[in-house]
Structure 1
């Protein structure tokens, strides 16, 4: 009760005093370990385990507390070692086995994670471990295990009686990417299987592009469904608008795309359509982001407004920036008003051409107030 009230120091003192008076108070030792774990006192917890939890019946609990502490500190190797030792003592321990599968996933050891999840599927009723099993089995390409867990969960999916990858349209969903810099971004994707989806939303020129990535996700959404609002209809506040967001675990097939912005004065429908056709011939996808409200002041005629254009050009990643820059320069050379591609200019190799293009972007941006 003291620990529940955030009085960890007082709780620790009471528990230690009890242990000194009753050396065989196993339950109190375990509770003290939990208090130290909640307080993040790893060194004190390790000392307690070494001193009081090396023999039965506390040895397994000692491994569990150590594993939880090491995982919290980000030492996944040590956490896995403790969980493995626990399973040697108690192979039937389902919660530690599921926890070890999660740790193995985070270590990138998907085959090992799948092995533990398969054990759980063979020994436990259908549950969350089946969803996790489908995720790991999809990553390693074991579609028989994906189908087995899908049947256990009574999912109605086309192709369960077939073999090989499951790839059927299952509607839109949202997936969350964790980037290398720690940023997180959500995108709409078309679900193609129980735990797979292909991204259909552009990231834009200032982010890593994930368009057309085929991903495998964790079926546990990062935004749980709202609780019922208590008026008897079973609906939670905002439940009708709830969209689950699934965290991406791995990219199975990269889309291989990179997006650049095109900005400037609209050249007219004919010239714009010709440019779009040429970019599409290179494998690009062009999405206009501006509307009729996007206008620029004419620097040569005060009071006159010029229609603007702002678009994303999602191009194959294999297309070098210098090559695309050269093509855009050639294709827009005859336009009355300039078009710029700021991020593409910044991505050019160091040298005179990059400096000239950056200067042009700055001049056009200032002149037309882009």
Structure 2
């Protein structure tokens, strides 16, 4: 996005804050960080909310800003393809509206469309990308930051179009135009130049180009390090500089959260897999299979095919013949979704031919001994890929072998194959109605993982009543169809479905905010529940304020309570409650635990928050951090728990104060006065906060924070108390917002703010 927009963003934040939209203002500035840092759960909530509010407030630039960053969060590092194309086209149409086209960032909509088309099928959409980018580049001068992003995508499209030599020349001229305009190229543009050089066979020059690009700032600074490492490793591997390539290659736990580099990282690994420094294992094969499925869901058609072919070659290096054959099928089916298949058919044929020529690993023992050998194998060191091949001759015929074979297939990422085998054995033979519960569970899981919903419904129709509705409830739960899940699970409970059916009812009912029913269905079988189920019941009963059930649960897990009836409100020590922040992040609020799953917030929160000191919250009693092992650390450990909901608001109102810090004696007296009144107060400034002496200009230690008061305290009372408590301080304290609210001494507080630079 064009940096010219940032001044406008700052002004908009100020306007929103002054209008009382503090949360929206805070969230607005954080959207780019959410997109770049991978805070997608926050981004996916906040960006649409901001866009909706912007539409309501008739602020089209703000709406474009929010929609753009939400889209970038999807198509950038997450590399969404076809699933996001319509949204990208709609954003471009929005950017071309008369009231938006003058926005400095509007050209970024063209860049976004080019990115998403490249994600879906780079070569197949190359012509369209070049066309829309060329038109946009003509209208943007090199002085504007938007220019660099557009030409970077133009270079990428040239490479995908099979014109890498032209891409090199174009990049060189674009860089010169940017420099002539007094600016530097971005890291992304330099990295694309390196990719173009690699594509024309100039690997040494590609490495030099990437090294030169390291000096440039990145549009996405968070991703620069791992993206640079992946590309560097691929170039070095091409140059047969194996040791250096391995050193440059980011670890799997680094790239595993960044789909944008999945294909390039896999190519580098494939080149290095023959070395002793890169281990080609079944774990790698399983990860690549997960990545293939990811691109299948996201519409990354080209990436799905490329990964399938790379994974197939790597599988053959492990003598995974069965896996290579299935991956060839994936690549072949994926080719039908490409705009331009190119040489995919030839590569698939080559993979199949190589699989036929590869010898499978020698099986241990006789066929009749395989199941026993599987069970006796070391679960840590056993190779599940090999066991799939070794059990295959028995699968579909021997039930014990089928169970192990199909579930292992599912574990490795091939649930549809496992489901087919189980289906033929249980459904096609008519044995499904009398199948054991474990087999029904295994087949249900495989069908759900394979997203074969219609097939699962077909199977369920053949089952006895309880089993039928448990299967359907599991399906609805996995698809987050909560009402359908409750209804199906209730049928299963009525038919004698046992604790499993009750868990399904409780889980779905909780999502529908039917906590009373969720707790009730579990307490009816309390004696059959384990601790985990009991804690879940306690949380749901607490949300429903069913204190009798909470007490039953507490007794079951051995948690003593002082009271025997009514609401539970006991002091059980300090905890940290983790709550959502307006910017989509999280806030830790020191709180007093009052029950098995309740706490009262102890710290005042800024205006505009959805919670404040005095609020009673329900929390999930599962610790978010492990208890320290060191006894001394345990003494100071304040356990953190995730908030579930606000049970009862305390009605407290917060007021902001700011100014020069008083003496220790004055501050102690001030805090004592607040404590005597029962008004929670918290200092949010740190030791680095300073204000300016109004006459000498010297720096003074500063202090700012919030004080919260209960609903029966008027703003005038707060003003009077603050006045009395601070009147003898050497430097005055300001509470401008409160003064404006009650229209008292506004000028005095404005003067303090101005003179002390607050």
**What TM-score do you get using the length of structure 1 for normalisation?**
0.70
Counterpart of 2:601 in structure 1 is 199
Kindly state the Cα deviation for residue 126 of structure 1 after the two structures are TM-superposed: 5.7
CA contact 2:582–2:609 (8 Å) conserved in 1? no
C-alpha separation in 2, matches of 1:126 and 1:100: 17
Counterpart of 1:186 in structure 2 is 588
Residue of 414, 422, 432 corresponding to 1:7 = 414
CA contact 2:572–2:592 (8 Å) conserved in 1? yes
2:620 pairs with 1:218: yes
2:500 pairs with 1:90: no
2:543 pairs with 1:167: no
Counterpart of 1:316 in structure 2 is 710
- Relative to structure 1, the CA distance from residue 317 to residue 56 in structure 2 (aligned partners, 3 Å threshold; closer, same or farther) is same
Deviations 1:86-118 (A, max 9, x none): 112225x10220231232233222321232122
2:675 pairs with 1:264: no
SS in 2 for 1:2: helix
SS in 2 for 1:173: strand
Of structures 1 and 2, the one scoring higher in RCO (CA 8 A, sep 6+) is 1
C-alpha separation in 2, matches of 1:56 and 1:120: 25
- Relative to structure 1, the CA distance from residue 107 to residue 277 in structure 2 (aligned partners, 3 Å threshold; closer, same or farther) is same
Which has the larger share of strand? Answer: 1
CA contact 1:167–1:193 (8 Å) conserved in 2? yes
Counterpart of 2:642 in structure 1 is 247
Deviations 1:307-352 (A, max 9, x none): 433232223357677x68986998899999775447668x969xxx
Residue of 438, 447, 459 corresponding to 1:36 = 447
CA contact 1:209–1:258 (8 Å) conserved in 2? no
Counterpart of 1:67 in structure 2 is 473
Structure label with greater radius of gyration: 2
Residue of 122, 131, 153 corresponding to 2:535 = 131
Which has the larger share of helix? Answer: 2
C-alpha separation in 2, matches of 1:225 and 1:278: 35
Structure 2: runs of 5 or more not aligned: 1-407
Kindly state the Cα deviation for residue 278 of structure 1 after the two structures are TM-superposed: 9.2
- Relative to structure 1, the CA distance from residue 295 to residue 72 in structure 2 (aligned partners, 3 Å threshold; closer, same or farther) is same
Kindly state the Cα deviation for residue 9 of structure 1 after the two structures are TM-superposed: 4.8
CA contact 1:189–1:201 (8 Å) conserved in 2? yes
C-alpha separation in 1, matches of 2:588 and 2:617: 13
- Relative to structure 1, the CA distance from residue 330 to residue 369 in structure 2 (aligned partners, 3 Å threshold; closer, same or farther) is closer
- Relative to structure 1, the CA distance from residue 180 to residue 203 in structure 2 (aligned partners, 3 Å threshold; closer, same or farther) is closer
CA contact 1:15–1:29 (8 Å) conserved in 2? no
CA contact 2:613–2:680 (8 Å) conserved in 1? no
Counterpart of 1:53 in structure 2 is 460
Is the deviation greater in 70-79 or in 262-271? 262-271
2:513 pairs with 1:114: no
CA contact 1:258–1:317 (8 Å) conserved in 2? yes
Q: Count matched residues.
A: 344
Kindly state the Cα deviation for residue 266 of structure 1 after the two structures are TM-superposed: 4.8
Kindly state the Cα deviation for residue 32 of structure 1 after the two structures are TM-superposed: 4.4
C-alpha separation in 1, matches of 2:639 and 2:718: 40
C-alpha separation in 2, matches of 1:293 and 1:179: 24
Kindly state the Cα deviation for residue 82 of structure 1 after the two structures are TM-superposed: 1.3
- Relative to structure 1, the CA distance from residue 132 to residue 286 in structure 2 (aligned partners, 3 Å threshold; closer, same or farther) is closer
C-alpha separation in 2, matches of 1:4 and 1:247: 30
SS in 2 for 1:174: strand
Kindly state the Cα deviation for residue 224 of structure 1 after the two structures are TM-superposed: 6.0
- Relative to structure 1, the CA distance from residue 37 to residue 291 in structure 2 (aligned partners, 3 Å threshold; closer, same or farther) is closer
SS in 2 for 1:310: strand
Deviations 1:17-51 (A, max 9, x none): 66786454576775443223235x2xx31x11332
C-alpha separation in 2, matches of 1:106 and 1:167: 26
CA contact 1:120–1:129 (8 Å) conserved in 2? no
2:462 pairs with 1:77: no
C-alpha separation in 2, matches of 1:193 and 1:329: 34
CA contact 1:33–1:48 (8 Å) conserved in 2? no
Counterpart of 2:27 in structure 1 is none
2:560 pairs with 1:149: no
Structure 1: runs of 5 or more not aligned: 227-234
C-alpha separation in 2, matches of 1:114 and 1:341: 46
- Relative to structure 1, the CA distance from residue 37 to residue 342 in structure 2 (aligned partners, 3 Å threshold; closer, same or farther) is farther
- Relative to structure 1, the CA distance from residue 307 to residue 189 in structure 2 (aligned partners, 3 Å threshold; closer, same or farther) is closer
- Relative to structure 1, the CA distance from residue 218 to residue 280 in structure 2 (aligned partners, 3 Å threshold; closer, same or farther) is closer
CA contact 2:574–2:638 (8 Å) conserved in 1? no
Deviations 1:120-159 (A, max 9, x none): 11x5266333333433444444444333333333333334
Kindly state the Cα deviation for residue 81 of structure 1 after the two structures are TM-superposed: 0.9
C-alpha separation in 1, matches of 2:585 and 2:480: 19
CA contact 2:592–2:600 (8 Å) conserved in 1? yes
- Relative to structure 1, the CA distance from residue 95 to residue 243 in structure 2 (aligned partners, 3 Å threshold; closer, same or farther) is farther
C-alpha separation in 1, matches of 2:549 and 2:741: 47
Is the deviation greater in 254-263 or in 20-29? 20-29
CA contact 1:189–1:199 (8 Å) conserved in 2? yes
C-alpha separation in 2, matches of 1:291 and 1:248: 26
- Relative to structure 1, the CA distance from residue 311 to residue 30 in structure 2 (aligned partners, 3 Å threshold; closer, same or farther) is closer
